[in-house]
């Protein structure tokens, strides 16, 4: 990669290290290249524990991931982060974890834990934690929130990279954000946004996950700024991970005509250098971390090697995950009939509008209609959305949403970024309550309720992950998603999109367990328009 050459040769490995690389003038029709790295991923979003994630990832040529355990941090705090680390020690995949910077992500929702600057200092002493994870509280950076300032100072003193998260931030606010020491951003949706951030000194992570897909928009950076970009998945659900990982992004970019060396550097060298990963880059003296493929333009992986050992032989992964300890934090009781009714004041209501394939939402207002209560109107794609706190018994938050398209029934999930309370969308109160109560009984999961019955995918680890392999998880998840589509949903990834409706740090209108939230004004707003 560093010489930007492709040649016929032989790689000699000794004690897990590349001893030599020699040109031979002949060889089989295969390619050896550096193993791939995911520069930013929430492993929890795969709904797999790290050890099962590893079994799936190496099949696609991934040898390293930069993992932000923010999701389990919001459920269990530092205990959750330590669980992820311990579970990952049983597998060869090279995982570097971040110390979550935003637990809770905001003070406008109820989370299961808090991680303060002192906790971050302690976490950064762990040898498997190598960076401060994404600073989503960009208003806190811009306005010098004392605790945010302390966290950034702890990271700077530890001399570790600081990840960013600043969708749409521009101008003087962006400059201040970057000068605080933040080095990356994975939330760019336009080329112009990415170019401004690169000009300020940031590295841009091109994201292509299950819901948020920015590769097409940002790919030209590989021509103009090849040293300033990395590839990442961010959030990847199990059915996507089963089919491919970073290798799919590499194959697409190469088939689109981008320089093969720029593409593979973005998937390996750039992330290894930025995060100081202990990952080999196919040079003598490096750890023997590499992959074998028959066609870089397709990236079908024939073998994956980590530290000189073959961990995937073209058919199966050659290691097994260890025993998974069950950790959780779930303490709420059933919703009762009437708890999600909305009395009608006769005024107009604010409505969340979900976008297919993105994290951003829009805001519209509509008539509340007549009657004692404001009811869903499925014919107009006006559905009820409910968030119930999972950590304590409190009244739920209720609002309305468009974009899901359900004609009947309901869906619910305890995967709801960032605090992972229970979130549900539905066409009627009975089915919404039933879907939420199923998850309460299971202490975590995803559910669908319709006239034909009820289904649930159980997530017993922190209410957001399972201890089953990716193939079984993907099969269950796809079956549940198909059930939602049978109810009329038109979204590509309905449960992923549902989970982001509680992601307050992404504009425009979202909902927490405390009510509607305006992500531009960064404050709660009432359902009824004054």
Q: What are the pLDDT digits (tens) for 463-520?
A: 999 999 999 999 999 999 999 999 999 898 899 899 999 999 888 999 999 999 998 8
Same domain? For 279 and 355 the reply is: no
What confidence category does residue 309 fall into, taking pLDDT thresholds of 50, 70 and 90? very high
Is the pLDDT confidence value at 310 over 90? yes
Number of domains composing the chain = 2
Scan for tokens 């389990």, then name that residue: 72
Domain that holds residue 103: 34-283
Identify the pLDDT of residue 11: 95
C-alpha–C-alpha distance, residues 436 and 431, integer Å: 9
pLDDT digits (tens, 9 = 90+) for 190-222: 999 999 999 999 999 999 987 678 999 999 999
Residue 431 lies in a domain: yes
CATH code of 50's domain: 3.20.20.140
Close Cβ partners of 252 (under 8 Å, ≥ 6 residues apart): 215
Identify the pLDDT of residue 213: 85
Same domain? For 410 and 279 the reply is: no
How distant is the alpha carbon of residue 367 from its chain centre? Answer: 35
Identify the pLDDT of residue 347: 87
C-alpha–C-alpha distance, residues 43 and 387, integer Å: 23
How distant is the alpha carbon of residue 215 from its chain centre? Answer: 15
- How many CB atoms are closer than 10 A to CB 278? 14
Same domain? For 398 and 487 the reply is: yes
Instruction: Find, among 68, 60, 2, the residue nearest to 39 by Cα.
Output: 68
List the beta bridge partners of residue 190.
Answer: none
Residue 298 lies in a domain: no
Whole-model pTM over 0.85:
yes
Is the pLDDT confidence value at 373 over 90? yes
Same domain? For 388 and 504 the reply is: yes
What confidence category does residue 186 fall into, taking pLDDT thresholds of 50, 70 and 90? very high
- Pair 44, 71: CB distance under 8 Å: yes
Identify the pLDDT of residue 105: 83
Same domain? For 257 and 356 the reply is: no
Of the candidate ranges 174-178, 451-455, 504-508, the one whose mean pLDDT is the lowest: 504-508
Is the pLDDT confidence value at 228 over 80? yes
Is the pLDDT confidence value at 358 over 80? no
- Pair 53, 69: CB distance under 8 Å: no
What confidence category does residue 135 fall into, taking pLDDT thresholds of 50, 70 and 90? very high
Identify the pLDDT of residue 124: 98
Same domain? For 353 and 271 the reply is: no
Phi, psi of 332 (to 5 degrees): -140, 160
Q: What angle do CA 371, 517, 434 make, to 5 degrees?
A: 55
Residue 122 lies in a domain: yes
Stretch 28-47: mean pLDDT, rounded?
96
- Pair 68, 98: CB distance under 8 Å: yes
Residue 510 lies in a domain: yes
pLDDT digits (tens, 9 = 90+) for 311-347: 999 999 999 997 888 899 999 999 998 999 999 988 8
What confidence category does residue 146 fall into, taking pLDDT thresholds of 50, 70 and 90? very high
C-alpha–C-alpha distance, residues 238 and 45, integer Å: 8
Residue 71 lies in a domain: yes
Is the pLDDT confidence value at 359 over 90? no
Share of the chain above pLDDT 90, in %: 90
C-alpha–C-alpha distance, residues 92 and 64, integer Å: 9
Domain-ending residue, one of 251, 283, 315: 283
Higher pLDDT, 137 or 441: 441
C-alpha–C-alpha distance, residues 76 and 431, integer Å: 29
pLDDT digits (tens, 9 = 90+) for 381-406: 999 999 999 999 999 999 999 999 99
Q: Label residue 9 exposed, middle or buried (CB < 10 Å: 0-12, 13-18, 19+).
A: middle
Residue 476 lies in a domain: yes
Identify the pLDDT of residue 409: 98
Measured in residues, the chain has a length of: 530
Stretch 402-431: mean pLDDT, rounded?
97
Same domain? For 353 and 277 the reply is: no
Is the pLDDT confidence value at 268 over 80? yes
Residue 336 lies in a domain: no
pLDDT digits (tens, 9 = 90+) for 68-96: 999 999 999 999 999 999 999 999 999 99
Structure tokens at 231: 């590839």
Q: What angle do CA 234, 239, 245 make, to 5 degrees?
A: 45
- Pair 500, 506: CB distance under 8 Å: yes
Domain-ending residue, one of 235, 253, 283: 283
Name the strand (E) or helix (H) holding 511: strand 509-512
What confidence category does residue 370 fall into, taking pLDDT thresholds of 50, 70 and 90? confident
Mean pLDDT, rounded, of the chain? 95
Same domain? For 372 and 241 the reply is: no
Residue 440 lies in a domain: yes
Domain-ending residue, one of 240, 264, 283: 283
What confidence category does residue 522 fall into, taking pLDDT thresholds of 50, 70 and 90? confident
CA torsion sign, 140 to 143 to 148 to 151? positive
Same domain? For 274 and 412 the reply is: no
Cis? peptide before 508, omega within 30° of 0: yes
Is the pLDDT confidence value at 122 over 90? yes
Stretch 396-421: mean pLDDT, rounded?
97
Same domain? For 63 and 155 the reply is: yes
Q: What angle do CA 141, 145, 149 make, to 5 degrees?
A: 65
Same domain? For 269 and 352 the reply is: no
C-alpha–C-alpha distance, residues 468 and 473, integer Å: 6
Same domain? For 270 and 403 the reply is: no
C-alpha–C-alpha distance, residues 517 and 511, integer Å: 5
Q: Which letter does DSSP use for residue 46 in this model?
A: G
Looking only at the bridges linking them, the beta strands covering 62-67 and 94-99 are parallel
Identify the pLDDT of residue 25: 85
């Amino acid at each position: 990669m560093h010489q930007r050459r492709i040649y016929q040769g032989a790689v000699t490995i000794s004690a897990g290290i590349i001893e030599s690389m020699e040109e031979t003038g002949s060889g089989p029709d295969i390619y050896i290249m550096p193993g791939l790295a995911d520069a930013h991923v929430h492993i929890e979003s795969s709904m797999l524990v790290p050890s099962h994630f590893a079994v799936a990832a190496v099949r696609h040529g991934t040898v390293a991931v930069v993992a932000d355990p923010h999701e389990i941090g919001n459920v269990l705090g530092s205990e959750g982060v330590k669980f992820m680390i311990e579970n990952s020690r049983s597998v060869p995949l090279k995982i570097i974890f971040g110390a979550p910077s935003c637990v809770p992500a905001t003070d406008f929702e109820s989370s299961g834990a808090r991680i303060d600057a002192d906790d971050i200092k302690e976490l950064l002493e762990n040898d498997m934690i190598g960076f401060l994870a994404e600073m989503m509280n960009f208003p806190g950076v811009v306005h010098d929130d004392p605790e945010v300032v302390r966290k950034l100072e702890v990271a700077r003193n530890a001399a570790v990279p600081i990840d960013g998260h600043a969708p749409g931030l521009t101008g003087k606010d962006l400059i201040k954000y970057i000068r605080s020491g933040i080095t990356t951003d994975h939330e760019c949706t336009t080329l112009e946004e990415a170019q401004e951030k690169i000009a300020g000194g940031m590295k841009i992570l091109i994201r292509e996950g299950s819901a948020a897909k920015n590769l097409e928009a940002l790919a030209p950076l590989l021509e103009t700024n090849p040293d300033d970009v990395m590839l990442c998945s961010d959030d990847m659900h199990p059915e996507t991970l089963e089919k491919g990982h970073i290798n799919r992004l590499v194959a697409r970019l190469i088939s689109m005509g981008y320089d093969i060396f720029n593409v593979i550097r973005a998937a390996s060298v750039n992330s290894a250098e930025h995060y100081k990963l202990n990952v080999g880059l196919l040079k003598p003296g490096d750890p023997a971390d590499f992959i074998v493929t028959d066609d870089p333009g397709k990236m079908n992986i024939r073998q994956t090697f980590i530290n000189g050992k073959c961990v995937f032989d073209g058919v199966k992964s050659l290691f097994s995950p260890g025993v998974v300890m069950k950790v959780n934090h779930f303490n709420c009781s059933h919703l009762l009939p009437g708890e999600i009714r909305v009395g009608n004041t006769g005024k107009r209501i604010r409505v969340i509008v979900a976008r297919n394939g993105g994290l951003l939402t829009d805001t519209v207002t509509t008539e509340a209609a007549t009657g004692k209560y404001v009811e869903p109107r499925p014919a107009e794609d006006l559905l009820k959305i409910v968030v119930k706190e999972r950590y304590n018994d409190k009244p739920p938050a209720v609002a309305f949403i468009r974009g899901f398209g359900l004609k009947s029934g309901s869906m619910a999930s305890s995967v709801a970024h960032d605090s992972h309370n229970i979130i549900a969308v539905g066409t009627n109160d009975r089915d919404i309550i039933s879907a939420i109560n199923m998850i309460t009984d299971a202490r975590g999961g995803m559910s669908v309720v319709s006239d034909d019955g009820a289904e649930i995918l159980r997530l017993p680890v922190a209410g957001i992950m399972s201890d089953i392999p990716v193939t079984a998880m993907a099969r269950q998840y796809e079956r549940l998603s198909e059930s939602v589509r049978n109810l009329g949903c038109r979204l590509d990834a309905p449960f992923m999109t549902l989970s982001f409706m509680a992601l307050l740090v992404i504009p425009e209108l979202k909902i927490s367990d405390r009510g509607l939230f305006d992500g531009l004004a960064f404050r709660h707003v009432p359902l009824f328009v004054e």
